[in-house]
Structure 1
Amino acid sequence: MMFEQRIVQARLPRRNLLAAAAMATLAACAVVPKGPAPTTAPAPRPAPSGSQLPSDSQRHRIALLVPMNGVNGAVGQSIANAATMAVMDTNAQNLRITNYDTSAGAASAASRAIADGNQLILGPLLADDIPAVAGVARAAKVPIISFSNDADAAGRDVYVMGSLPGESIRRTVRYARGRGVTSFAALVPKGDYGERASAALIAETRAAGGSLTAMESYDRSAASITAAASKLRGRGAVDAILIADSGSLSARAAGVLKPRGAASPRLLGTELWSGEKALSTSPSLEGAWFAAVSDTRFPQFVKSYRTRFGAAPYRIATLGYDAVLLTLRVARDWKPGRMFPTTSLTSPDGFLGLDGAFRFDRSGVINRAFEVREVSGGAVKVVSPAPTKFGN
């Protein structure tokens, strides 16, 4: 089913600084879903069928492909709501964004989007849906900016916008090496995420001049990660151990790897730890480091989102907001009715959004500026801020 967001002009009160901050960052041209949604956001209004869509020569047609029903429906709705917010906050009048539900089939959603004349696809959410969408979009020369966090899904005219575990691990390993950590070990879950995390850790420890001495995998359950942690602990002492999982499961493993009061090893996490309450309630995670995108602008985003939709957004919803900001930035040099200028996406200077600095490399994979945080005294603090722009 397809839904269209009827874009209306909406000027926010002066006290709402979200739009101003967002547009200021873009003007500078510098550079699996997280967080609970306490209530379900309002359902979108059904749109006319594709044949009923009016012609529009003054606005760019942008398709937003996300699940609006099923297991990931609430996440998709949160992203769609955030995209609407971005259009309203910036008072953008040169975009027409239409939602297409991928829960009933990503290929059919993409086909309808192409038939309706959209020149850019934002989405899909899941990496598994990218081949189906790309198969339709490439034939029409329509690029895709996906919300997936799987770098392997990137390719010709397919850009991956989600936060990648490899980048989080790279930032953390380099920070740790700069503070004297030389030997590493890891607990990684079985599956795609664990494989990407382990590959990144192997590559980054080697690149940073460290050594990876041991690695254990586990099923994503409390019993399995506890058993793997016990086995890893028996394989000898190391300076630091990466736990590539959520805060709650990591806290369980931390109690085995680092008994309360122990000075070592230093525990490390990934971007999955961002916003996890378990970090501040587990004594064994004291002193742990992890890297994630900056949360500086997120509280204001949450406040504005809740006011509009009566619910808290999923953390991943900022991707929908930033995708619209990115589109607006590119639209400065993009005439309606023409193909989207993909060369603009690979500017080495990159862009700035709610989640900080980002850019795409020539392979379509996103590079993000991460900050490093430390668990300290029952709280999480930033110990190395995210860069505000990229170097050469």
Structure 2
Amino acid sequence: MAEGSGRSQPGRVASLRLAVTGLALLASACVGPRGGPPPAPPAPPERPEERPNAPISQGLPQDVARHRVALLVPLSGNNAGLGRSLQNATQLAILDTNTDAIRITSYDTAGPGGALAAAERAIAEGNKLILGPLLAEDARAVAPVARKARVPVLSFSNDSSAAGGGVYLLGYSPAQSIERVVNYAKGTGITNFAGLIPSGIYGQRASTAFLRAVESAGGKVLAMHNYDARPGSMNQAIAKLAGVPYQAILIAGSAGTATVAVPVLRRAPGGKAARILGTELWNTDSAIASRPVLNGSWFASVPDGVYRQYAVKYRTRFGAAPYRLSALGYDAVLLTVRIARDWKNNTDFPASMLVDHDFGGVDGAFRFGRDGVAARALEVQEVRDGSIITVSAAPASAN
């Protein structure tokens, strides 16, 4: 468990020492004048006043002056690097806002008992808001105990199935990203679309979002094929597109997957001039600009202008580059600090203030809908000659 608070202070180790003063009674022969009274006996020593021992309480010391907020992230295991980056981001936000209103305590969701044990401990120690966890399955595990304690959960997941019932999602939604880039493509005159969709739950949600977005924009999805991790699977999916007159094709996977697929597409008659579209997953790839095969590709993302400033400040303080997703931790603290102005001490977090209110931060404007998913103001970016260029700026509001 790690601590972060509004003021940076070195750790203190409290020690209690009992000083005992010994009283020596000196007996001496006192001789008075002849015929006088005998010397008076020495006064008995005073007994020191007994003081009751102060009660010792388990867990964290009480902090009634600040709001207690828990950060649930993996601090060990496979995702420890990302968890530490999120933790660092929350500390940086506390320092940047110079707030004394909240106190953040970190709990390891990869430790014994997982996210549920971390949440139970956080709630038992008096935290009234949970930032995290990172994964959707962890958010689902935490939800019942948090809901029972009336502690809202601001998860970093983007899996909409984990939202609701006191769980709010800060993650970048694939559906929103796909809708934004499809609308932009349609605005440039593209009407015929195709899709290469990964197998699995993410692919199922991406395909549904793609079909809805194209239909809503007034275009047509002419073909959509799945691929998986088996050798040759992507080539087989692309081969099925032969003869399909698509103008743009969504590759609903990582930028690395697109890097493998695009050369094959360019060799196929229908894919020579097609516009390549990506998803929000491309935003987390720091090397995307250096992939020349992706030149001309479009994808929708949270704005990167403020993030670049944040990344410089993060590197200066922590000596390493941040994970792209760490901005979610920073923005979660900004949101909490803002609501803390109207959050009375020693009361439940005012969850009603989360819904239908505009927030902002490193990743631009966002607001939570009634479904608990953060709707974001996204921009459309293009990979162009080793750089990422904004071709359609994000709106000022997430409405």
Q: CA deviation at 1:259?
A: 3.8
Q: Structure 2: how far apart are the matches of 1:388 and 1:85?
A: 25
Q: Structure 2: how far apart are the matches of 1:201 and 1:46?
A: 55
Structure 2 CA distance for partners of 1:102 and 1:235, relative to 1, 3 Å: farther
Structure 2 CA distance for partners of 1:224 and 1:46, relative to 1, 3 Å: farther
- Which of 271, 282, 298 aligns to 2:292? It is 282
1:97 aligns with 2:104: yes
Question: Secondary structure in 2 aligned to 1:336?
Answer: coil
Question: Secondary structure in 2 aligned to 1:80?
Answer: helix
Equivalence for 2:3: 4
Equivalence for 2:158: 149
> How is 1:96-135 mapped onto 2 (pairs within 5 angstroms)?
96-104=103-111, 105-135=114-144
Structure 2 CA distance for partners of 1:260 and 1:355, relative to 1, 3 Å: farther
Task: Check the 8 A contact 2:139/2:162 in 1, yes or no.
Answer: yes
Equivalence for 2:374: 366
1:243 aligns with 2:242: no
Task: Check the 8 A contact 1:8/1:88 in 2, yes or no.
Answer: yes
Task: Check the 8 A contact 2:366/2:375 in 1, yes or no.
Answer: yes
1:351 aligns with 2:323: no
- Which of 305, 317, 336 aligns to 1:308? It is 317
Q: Structure 2: how far apart are the matches of 1:355 and 1:95?
A: 22
Task: Check the 8 A contact 2:303/2:394 in 1, yes or no.
Answer: yes
Greater share of residues in helix: 1
Structure 2 CA distance for partners of 1:100 and 1:358, relative to 1, 3 Å: same
Q: Structure 2: how far apart are the matches of 1:57 and 1:174?
A: 49
Task: Check the 8 A contact 1:61/1:120 in 2, yes or no.
Answer: yes
Q: CA deviation at 1:143?
A: 0.6
Q: CA deviation at 1:47?
A: 11
Structure 2 CA distance for partners of 1:108 and 1:58, relative to 1, 3 Å: same
Question: Secondary structure in 2 aligned to 1:74?
Answer: helix
> How is 1:320-359 mapped onto 2 (pairs within 5 angstroms)?
320-348=329-357, 350-359=358-367
Equivalence for 2:392: 384
The answer to which of 353-362 and 301-310 deviates more is 301-310
Task: Check the 8 A contact 2:177/2:299 in 1, yes or no.
Answer: yes
Q: CA deviation at 1:281?
A: 3.0
Equivalence for 2:30: none
Question: Secondary structure in 1 aligned to 2:397?
Answer: coil
Q: CA deviation at 1:107?
A: 0.7
- Which of 56, 63, 68 aligns to 2:63? It is 56
Q: Structure 2: how far apart are the matches of 1:109 and 1:249?
A: 35
Structure 2 CA distance for partners of 1:276 and 1:310, relative to 1, 3 Å: closer
Q: CA deviation at 1:305?
A: 1.2
Q: CA deviation at 1:263?
A: 5.7
Structure 1 moving runs of 4+ over 6 Å: 45-50
Q: CA deviation at 1:231?
A: 2.7
Task: Check the 8 A contact 1:50/1:115 in 2, yes or no.
Answer: no
Deviations 1:70-108 (A, max 9, x none): 011111111011001100111110101000111021111
- Which of 174, 190, 194 aligns to 1:181? It is 190
Question: Secondary structure in 2 aligned to 1:203?
Answer: helix
Equivalence for 1:212: 221
Letter of the 1:272 partner, please give it.
L
1:272 aligns with 2:281: yes
- TM-score between the two structures when normalised by the length of structure 2: 0.83
Task: Check the 8 A contact 1:50/1:112 in 2, yes or no.
Answer: no
Letter of the 1:362 partner, please give it.
R
Task: Check the 8 A contact 2:134/2:157 in 1, yes or no.
Answer: yes
Task: Check the 8 A contact 2:59/2:125 in 1, yes or no.
Answer: no
Note the residue ranges of structure 1 that are not aligned, 5 or more in a row: 11-44
Q: CA deviation at 1:130?
A: 1.3
Question: Secondary structure in 1 aligned to 2:197?
Answer: strand
Choose 1 or 2 for highest CA Rg: 2
Q: CA deviation at 1:310?
A: 1.5
Note the residue ranges of structure 2 that are not aligned, 5 or more in a row: 15-55
Deviations 1:331-350 (A, max 9, x none): 111111111111111134x1
Q: CA deviation at 1:181?
A: 0.9
Q: CA deviation at 1:368?
A: 0.5
How many residue pairs get matched?
354
Q: Structure 1: how far apart are the matches of 2:240 and 2:13?
A: 56
Equivalence for 2:207: 198
Compare relative contact order (CA 8 Å, sep 6+) and give the higher one, 1 or 2: 1
- TM-score between the two structures when normalised by the length of structure 1: 0.85
Deviations 1:16-37 (A, max 9, x none): xxxxxxxxxxxxxxxxxxxxxx
Equivalence for 1:30: none
Provide the aligned C-alpha RMSD in A.
Answer: 2.4
Structure 2 CA distance for partners of 1:264 and 1:217, relative to 1, 3 Å: same
Task: Check the 8 A contact 2:175/2:210 in 1, yes or no.
Answer: yes
- Which of 234, 239, 247 aligns to 1:230? It is 239
Q: Structure 1: how far apart are the matches of 2:338 and 2:59?
A: 29
